Amino acid sequence: MPHLNPGDSAPDFALLDQQGNNVKLSDFKGRKLLLYFYPKANTPGCTEQACQIRDAREELADLGLVVVGISPDGTGPQRKFDDKYGLNFPLLSDQDHAIAEAYGVWGEKTMRGKKYLGVIRSSFLIDENGNIIQPWYKISPKDTVPRAVQALTA
């Protein structure tokens, strides 16, 4: 699984969000982007992470940062997740996990002694030109916002 490093070009994407809109990396040119990958909508860790991002919306906006989440869920589960928690930021559907693979976040995981392939929770801070400022692989749900804020205010 290849990892991205600071200064690398962020892999391009064009995916449907929870409303059925096509969202591309190029839509964010000229703005900083926090792109985060999460395993599954409506699970405890993913809910904690998404709600933390929702609650930090003003602070992130003050830092000039927009947020997009990506998971292998379809647009329907993404929409239900958004509606249930009032997230109000794009949640993209990567059902074939091609974008997760491009970012190096699709890999082997273990749960209850069983190995399977899935999204390894990770976040990427991307600059206005589409380059990686900072990647965080295997990030804890509670660390997504603090790490992004720290990187932008350091």
Q: Catalytic residues, which ones? A: 46
Residue 31 near residue 125 (C-beta atoms within 8 A): no
> How far apart are the C-alpha atoms of 68 and 85, rounded to whole Å?
15
Rg of the chain in Å (alpha carbons): 14
Written as one letter, the residue type at 43 is T
> Which of 29, 38, 134 is closest to 78 using CA atoms?
38
Instruction: Give the helix/strand (H/E) hosting 47.
Output: helix 44-55
Token pair 């997504």: residue: 144
> How far apart are the C-alpha atoms of 42 and 25, rounded to whole Å?
25
